[in-house]
Amino acid sequence: MWKTILILLFCFPNTVRAFQFQAVPTDSLVALEFKQSLSLINSPTYIRQKEELLGQLFTKSFYSGALLINDVLKIIYEDNLESYLLNVCGKNVDKLSPSGQARVLLLMGDAKSSLGQPYEALLSYSKAEKKVKDSPLAYEAKWRTAKAYYYAGDFDLAKELLDILKQGTDREIANDALNLSMFLDDHLGMDSLEKDVRQFVQIQKLQNFQKWKAADEALEQFIVSSPQENLIDDLLYLRAQRALLKKEFPLAKSLFLESYQKFPLDIYADDSLYKYLELDQFKDEKLGFQFIQQFPSSLFVDAVRSHLMNPKK
């Protein structure tokens, strides 16, 4: 009985008010509520009303801002619910403020990219950028556009955008754009590598959209297939990132350190060393000072310096 009451309360609100884009709630309880309601919807009891209940769940989540919480997005992508997200967002996006529309258009672009619709995703990102020209959100739209080209295998177009972005004002995006641009510089034009690079990029895409099972299977198969040595550093860093996402912290820590030690001049070197130091709680002062000396212009140098000056007791 209580399950029936819960799902009715959650999925059938009495009224749906015009959505004003507010600060997105971050409490993980929102994600838990979403997951519990989704679980109830998928139970045999509601099989006949499943489509209607899913629509109600997504509509309520849209108006509450819950769809923009990372934990909720993970649930959506893991359960292949992108089409429901797109349906609800598409019906309601015009009711939002320009910045609200831009955020939801970015979300829609990601969902389309996840579904293997890269050019529809590009259209959503373009619309988002036009809604908020010359703003941080517009810059984010450009970054996602570059990644959409990258995931679609249009590496030349991706490279053009990345080379613009790496000169930008948002340091985090500029850093990521620089890394991706350097990766393409290393591998573009090598016909013998093209197949392996395209497979590697698809694994990155699966991880980016939280398709964990498919990503893990593809990564395992890729490693077994003995890719060319040119991708060993990329694979090692990718494995470290995946271990971190799975919260396998000892393994992630070990892999990040290995990535730095084996490839100290690599494009991932500062990222790898910083993530190792972070997981190690900055206990290794020697490596911390080495980071500052070796990577004085790194995005993370201020954080490392701060931890060394104010060590945890």
Question: Residues 222-274: pLDDT tens digits?
Answer: 888 866 677 889 999 999 999 998 889 999 999 999 999 999 999 999 999 99
**pLDDT(23) > 50:** no
**Per-residue tokens: 62:** 């849209």
| 23 assigned to some structural domain | yes
Specify the pLDDT at position 30.
83
- Shared domain for 85 and 125, answered yes or no, is no
**pLDDT(184) > 60:** yes
Q: How far is CA 193 from CA 155, 186, 239, in A?
A: 13, 10, 20
Mean of pLDDT over the chain:
86
**Per-residue tokens: 136:** 């941080």
Specify the pLDDT at position 22.
43
Contact 7, 40 (CB under 8 A): yes
**Where among 61, 96, 131 does a domain terminate?**
96
Of 186, 149, 146, 148, which Cα lies nearest the Cα of 166? 146
**Where among 46, 65, 96 does a domain terminate?**
96
| pLDDT-above-90 percentage for the chain | 60
Place of tokens 């790496």: 166
271: number of Cβ within 10 Å? 23
Record the pTM. Answer: 0.83
| 294 assigned to some structural domain | no
Specify the pLDDT at position 42.
86
Contact 55, 88 (CB under 8 A): yes
| pLDDT-above-70 percentage for the chain | 88
| Tally of domains in the chain | 2
Q: Read off the pLDDT of each residue in 123-144 and give the average, rounded to a whole number.
A: 94
- Shared domain for 67 and 20, answered yes or no, is yes
Give alpha helix (H) positions in the chain.
2-11, 28-41, 50-64, 70-78, 82-92, 98-114, 118-131, 136-151, 155-165, 171-187, 194-208, 212-224, 232-245, 249-262, 269-279, 285-294, 301-309
- Domain residue limits at 180: 117-188
Which segment, 28-37, 149-158, 224-233, is predicted with the most confidence on average? 149-158
Contact 34, 66 (CB under 8 A): yes
**pLDDT(17) > 60:** no
